[in-house]
């Protein structure tokens, strides 16, 4: 089944031709798994990493199932960030036009009424939860004709506190609809919400943390705190460096680092939540086109970035945990391309970063630079303290 063609999966010739024009001729694994169930109208829960082709996993069947006379909107795709909304819309635009379908966007930072006019006419509406709720409350968009609901990166939406808005949006939708969850995890809160929103859902999983990090090369570089900027400049000046995405913890940190890089003749821009939407879009356009080759971003701002040409991801500030590492490094080594993840490690961060590396089976990569992997911390529950049966997963710590 993994070797199926788009035609064998029931995709129409017009959509196949449109996909071919974008350079896509063979289905990705997640598409092969979910397309038959989605085309048949089943609810679907899909666990898949970013960059695995998941967007087309729901975009293709939505386009195939809707028609020009479908209600507007007939399909709603909820996403956590504006950047991801724009990129999902681009994937839809590449194929929706061949069936006469209109794609709309709704996200914060722009005129509510102007977006409302476009959204109301769209067959497929890609939206962030807060803006869609706003449009619905103002009666600028009606949701009673929605036949298909997709929650893309559902885990991230919950992490960002969007569950109340999503709950209120779902209550506005027809009970009889098709619902799909695409998420990096289907456990915990995501799993509970998925069960509440779906009926007899078909479940598909195609990734694990280890598989994700194996797609890229990994470097852990020991640095002194006062020497991090120098180390970054040296790295960015290495031969073969293409587009580099540099992660920092804070918005102020992003601005400060960009200022220091520009002083060293490095073409860089910041990406964070304090920027206006037009400024964010300009930064992305300049980065994607190669006018600048370094984008310094916070985690939230970079969520959903789907650029195949990123050759290096640099953790200038280390991620909080394993999931954060996978999310960040997953911005490179996409669609079969090579990529490199680089993490700077100061002396006081070595213990925490080494434990992340150990849990992701990156022991040897961490030790290549002469650093030692620390043993994992063990936390016991109160009622089981001192008993081996009380072992739990290491406590989540920030570093």
Strand ranges, E, within 1-153: 44-47, 75-78, 103-106, 124-127, 148-152
Q: How far is it, in rounded angstroms, from Cα 56 to Cα 66?
A: 15
Task: Identify the three-state secondary structure at position 52.
Answer: coil
Q: Is the pLDDT of residue 396 over 50?
A: no
Q: How far is it, in rounded angstroms, from Cα 245 to Cα 145?
A: 40
Please report the pLDDT score of residue 48 as a whole number.
76
Give the pLDDT confidence of 284-313 residue by residue, as tens digits: 889 988 899 999 999 876 666 777 789 999
Please report the pLDDT score of residue 158 as a whole number.
83
Q: Which long-range contacts (CB under 8 A, 24 or more apart) does 263-267 make?
A: 264/229, 264/233, 266/233, 266/236, 266/294, 267/291, 267/292, 267/293, 267/294
Please report the pLDDT score of residue 214 as a whole number.
66
| Cα–Cα nearest to 215, from 341, 47, 27 | 341
Q: How far is it, in rounded angstroms, from Cα 178 to Cα 199?
A: 9
Give the pLDDT confidence of 348-387 residue by residue, as tens digits: 999 999 988 888 888 889 998 888 876 655 443 343 333 3
Please report the pLDDT score of residue 316 as a whole number.
97
One-character DSSP codes across 362-378: -HHHHHTTTPPPPPPP-
Domains (range + CATH), the chain: 13-207 (3.40.50.300), 210-367 (3.40.50.300)
Question: Residue 142 burial (CB < 10 Å; 0-12/13-18/19+)?
Answer: middle
- Entry pTM: 0.64
Please report the pLDDT score of residue 392 as a whole number.
34
* For residue 73, cis peptide bond before it (omega within 30 degrees of 0): yes
Give the pLDDT confidence of 153-202 residue by residue, as tens digits: 888 888 778 889 999 999 999 999 999 998 877 878 888 888 889 999 99
Q: Report the share of the chain in percent with pLDDT over 90.
A: 55
Task: Identify the three-state secondary structure at position 31.
Answer: helix
Q: Is the pLDDT of residue 390 over 80?
A: no
Query: Residue 195: which residues within 8 A CB-CB, separation 6 or more?
Result: none
Q: How far is it, in rounded angstroms, from Cα 244 to Cα 260?
A: 16
Tokens 């298909």 belong to 148
* pLDDT confidence bin for 264, thresholds 50/70/90: very high
């Amino acid at each position: 089944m993994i070797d199926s063609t788009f035609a064998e999966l029931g995709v129409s010739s017009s959509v196949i031709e449109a996909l071919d024009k974008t350079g896509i001729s063979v289905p990705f694994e997640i598409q092969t798994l979910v397309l038959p169930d989605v085309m048949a109208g089943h609810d679907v829960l899909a666990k898949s990493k970013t960059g695995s082709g998941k967007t087309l996993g729901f975009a293709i069947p939505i386009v195939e199932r809707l028609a020009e006379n479908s209600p507007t909107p007939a399909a709603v795709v909820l996403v956590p960030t504006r950047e991801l909304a724009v990129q999902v819309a681009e994937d839809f635009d590449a194929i929706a036009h061949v069936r006469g379908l209109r794609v709309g966007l709704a996200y914060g930072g722009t005129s509510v009424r102007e977006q409302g006019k476009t959204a109301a006419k769209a067959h497929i509406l890609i939206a962030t939860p807060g803006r869609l709720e706003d449009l619905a409350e103002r009666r600028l968009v009606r949701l009673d004709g929605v036949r298909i609901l997709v929650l893309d990166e559902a885990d991230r939406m919950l992490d960002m506190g969007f569950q109340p808005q999503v709950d209120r949006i779902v209550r506005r939708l027809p009970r009889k609809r098709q619902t799909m969850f695409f998420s990096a995890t289907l456990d915990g809160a995501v799993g509970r919400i998925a069960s509440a929103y779906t009926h007899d859902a078909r479940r598909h999983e195609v990734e694990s943390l280890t598989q994700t990090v194996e797609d890229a090369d990994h470097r852990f570089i020991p640095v002194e705190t006062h020497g991090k900027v120098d180390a970054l400049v040296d790295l960015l000046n290495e031969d073969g460096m293409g587009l580099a995405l540099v992660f920092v913890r804070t918005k102020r940190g992003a601005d400060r680092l960009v200022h220091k890089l520009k002083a060293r003749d490095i073409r860089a821009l910041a990406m964070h939540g304090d920027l206006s939407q037009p400024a964010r879009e300009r930064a992305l356009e300049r980065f994607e086109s190669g006018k600048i080759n370094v984008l310094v971003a916070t985690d939230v701002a970079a969520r959903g970035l789907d650029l195949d040409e990123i050759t290096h991801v640099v953790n200038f500030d280390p991620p909080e945990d394993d999931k954060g590492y996978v999310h960040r490094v997953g911005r490179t080594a996409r669609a079969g391309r090579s990529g490199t993840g680089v993490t700077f490690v100061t002396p006081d961060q070595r213990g925490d970063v080494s434990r992340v590396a150990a849990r992701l089976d990156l022991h040897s990569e961490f030790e290549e630079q002469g650093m030692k992997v620390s043993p994992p911390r063990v936390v016991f529950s109160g009622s089981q303290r001192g008993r081996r049966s009380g072992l739990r997963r290491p406590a989540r710590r920030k570093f």
